[in-house]
Amino acid sequence: MSDKHTVLVTGASRGIGLELAKLFAADGHDLVLVARSADAMEALAAELRQAHGVEVRVEPADLGDPASRAQLVARLADTSIDVLVNNAGFGSNGAFHELDVDAEMSQLAVNVGALTELTGRFLPGMVERGRGRVLNIASTAGFQAGPYMAVYYATKAYVISFTEAIAFELKGTGVTATAHCPGATHTGFALQAGTSKNKLFTAGAVASAADVAQHAYAAMWAGKPLAIHGFSNWMGAFMTRFGPRSVSARITSVLNKH
Ligand SMILES: NC(=O)c1ccc[n+]([C@@H]2O[C@H](COP(=O)([O-])OP(=O)(O)OC[C@H]3O[C@@H](n4cnc5c(N)ncnc54)[C@H](OP(=O)(O)O)[C@@H]3O)[C@@H](O)[C@H]2O)c1
């Protein structure tokens, strides 16, 4: 997989997705950038074209909206996507019964629905061509229940389970799937989710988006089904296997509560 590829990155307007787009461009790969913020993506596209001479298409879409997703897929009907990066995602903070149900449903639509649909739309072509990569950005949130971020944690558990399952199915096809799990990372995520003052982001180490992207990028090319960024995150995920699930839920509730 060292020659030129066409790479679709969702959530490429900022944060981890933007850093991933930079890594692909620096290695000479062409890009399709997807998010809602067209201006931010146009600025990134201009920068990457100039710095690396790659082709960059900007495809604004609201991934929470099935009609917008269908239009995106239709616009890409003649484009072979060799690498799909499902990175777009967001969270929310609070007791589930107090949160806005519509916002929680749109979180499911982006974190789970769009990731599953785009994988389903582009994976068959990769298998047919005998080469490809799927990189799904999950989270260490996916390893335990997450009181006060119940839907977000559940969506990331789905991403890990789904990705590990298709990674198994893809053995021998020339295509791999990787679930990458960042821990707390400096991006717009915490502010948007309302978690920037929570212990998860104030009490421990918070990674840079560039470091997380680099780790995910290497894991994806290596074809790893699952990769966790950082030793302490890895330890945390590992330890949840041994204690009662009620204990990890209690610890997580402390990290997630205001
Ligand atoms: N930051 C962390 O602490 C952390 C930890 C673990 C995992 N993650 C995961 O990492 C991934 C990237 O998040 P980030 O930290 O880089 O956050 P971010 O800076 O807030 O970026 C989120 C990206 O998702 C896009 N997005 C959100 N809703 C969308 C929608 N409806 N349609 C299209 N695009 C949408 C945003 O673009 P527009 O707003 O322009 O649409 C933006 O580009 C997410 O899946 C997140 O769950 C983050």
> Do residues 160 and 226 touch, judged by C-beta distance below 8 A?
yes
- Say yes or no to pLDDT of 257 above 90: no
Q: Name the residue type at position 117.
A: E
The structural domain count of the chain equals 1
Mutate to test the pocket of ligand 1, among 181, 189, 217 (most ligand atoms within 8 A of CB): 189
Q: Is residue 56 part of a domain?
A: yes
Kindly compute the dihedral angle of the four CA atoms of residues 106, 38, 141, 107, in this order, to the nearest 10 degrees. Answer: 0
pLDDT at residue 244 in the model: 87
> Do residues 149 and 141 touch, judged by C-beta distance below 8 A?
yes
30: Cβ below 6 Å to ligand 1? Answer: no
Q: What are phi and psi of 140, to 5 degrees?
A: -65, -15
CATH code, 188: 3.40.50.720
Q: Across the strands, what pairs with 56?
A: 31
Using alpha carbons only, what angle is made at residue 49 by residues 21 and 33, rounded to the nearest 5 degrees? 40
Q: Is residue 153 part of a domain?
A: yes
Q: Is residue 40 part of a domain?
A: yes
Q: Is residue 226 part of a domain?
A: yes
pLDDT at residue 242 in the model: 87
Tokens read off for 179: 């679930």
> Do residues 70 and 109 touch, judged by C-beta distance below 8 A?
no
Residue range of the domain that includes 123: 6-256
Determine how β-strand 175-181 pairs with β-strand 207-208.
Answer: unpaired
CA distance 197 to 255: 10
Of 8-17, 30-39, 216-225, 243-252, the one with minimum mean pLDDT is 243-252
63: Cβ below 6 Å to ligand 1? Answer: yes
Q: What are phi and psi of 82, to 5 degrees?
A: -90, -30
- Say yes or no to pLDDT of 150 above 70: yes
CA distance 182 to 99: 25
Q: What is the pLDDT of residues 44-99, one digit of tens each?
A: 999 999 999 999 999 999 999 999 999 999 999 999 999 999 999 999 999 999 99
- Say yes or no to pLDDT of 2 above 60: no
What is the whole-number distance in angstroms between the Cα of residue 172 and the centre of ligand 1?
A: 32
- Under the banding of pLDDT at 50, 70 and 90, the label for residue 1 is low
Determine how β-strand 207-208 pairs with β-strand 226-228.
Answer: unpaired
What is the whole-number distance in angstroms between the Cα of residue 126 and the centre of ligand 1?
A: 25
- Under the banding of pLDDT at 50, 70 and 90, the label for residue 198 is confident
Q: How many residues does the chain have?
A: 258
Tokens read off for 11: 């959530």
pLDDT at residue 120 in the model: 98
Q: Is residue 1 part of a domain?
A: no
Considering the candidates 148, 152, 158, 217, report the single residue annotated as catalytic. Answer: 152
**Of all protein residues, whose CA lies closest to atom 43 belonging to ligand 1?**
11
pLDDT at residue 62 in the model: 98
Q: Could you confirm whether 153 is annotated as catalytic? A: no
Q: What percent of the chain has pLDDT over 90?
A: 84
Q: What percent of the chain has pLDDT over 70?
A: 99
What is the whole-number distance in angstroms between the Cα of residue 66 and the centre of ligand 1?
A: 18
Q: Is residue 176 part of a domain?
A: yes
Mutate to test the pocket of ligand 1, among 14, 111, 140, 200 (most ligand atoms within 8 A of CB): 14
- H-state helical runs in 115-208: 115-129, 150-169, 189-193, 199-202
Tokens read off for 80: 């072979």
